Amino acid sequence: MFRLNKGHYGYLNRRKKQLMIQVGVILFGIIVLVVLGYFSTKTRKNLLTVAAVVSALPLANQLVVLIAVWKYRSRPKDEYEELSALVGNGILDTELIMTSKNDRAMEINYAYVHEKGVFCYSGDKKLETKKVEEYISQYLDANGLKADVFLIKDWKNYRNRLSSLSPVDRKTCDEKLLKIEGVLRNLAI
């Protein structure tokens, strides 16, 4: 089974499936431990029950991530292919869900890292553009990286903006751009 990393198309769907399987396996293990412990000792007070209770922590950890990611969907495949053809071998990330302590999760459908800045697209009309741009800029600054961040919520404007930029090749670009991509992926769930 090949691995899809953050920022690649299809990551959200794959991540949801992985999380559902992990939650199911852990929950099944907890049930088995409780049942075996009860039937072997005829009481709930045994070491297998303790192991089941301790196993609830990883279950909760995986369940929280699953709940956070559950409502988000991948963009249409043809839209991604159109954008991918537009940027060529540039630094394009997709399906980034960023969380912050103070605000709700921020869905960034596409993020294109270019010498002129980071160009993000989100189909979520409720996102506050300035807050998202400041949030990403703060993390870039914290990692010693400077880049202008632009969040565009209109698909046609985003596509036109990317088509107006000179192409950047991932293999020959400045290392700073790859570091910016790494920060974006680290911010995502």
At residue 167 the predicted structure's pLDDT band, cuts being 50, 70 and 90, is: confident
What's the CA gap between 64 and 108, in Å, rounded? Answer: 20
| pTM for the predicted model, two decimal places | 0.84
Q: Which tens digits make up the pLDDT trace of 8-63?
A: 999 999 999 999 999 999 999 999 999 999 998 888 888 999 999 999 999 999 99
Is the pLDDT score of 2 beyond 70? no
**Domain extent listing, the chain:** 11-70, 77-187
Find the mean pLDDT for residues 127-135. 91
Is the pLDDT score of 182 beyond 50? yes
Q: Which tens digits make up the pLDDT trace of 96-124?
A: 999 877 777 899 999 999 999 999 999 98
- More reliable by pLDDT, 6 or 151: 151
Strand runs labelled E in the chain: 91-98, 106-114, 117-121, 149-152
At residue 1 the predicted structure's pLDDT band, cuts being 50, 70 and 90, is: very low
What's the CA gap between 94 and 111, in Å, rounded? Answer: 6
CA nearest to 189, candidates 16, 29, 31: 16
- According to DSSP, the residues that pair with 97 across neighbouring strands are 107
Query: Exposure pattern of 137-153 as b/e (b: 16+ CB <10 Å)?
Result: bebbeeeebebebbbbb
- According to DSSP, the residues that pair with 118 across neighbouring strands are 113, 149
- According to DSSP, the residues that pair with 102 across neighbouring strands are none
CB 178 within 8 A of CB 119: no
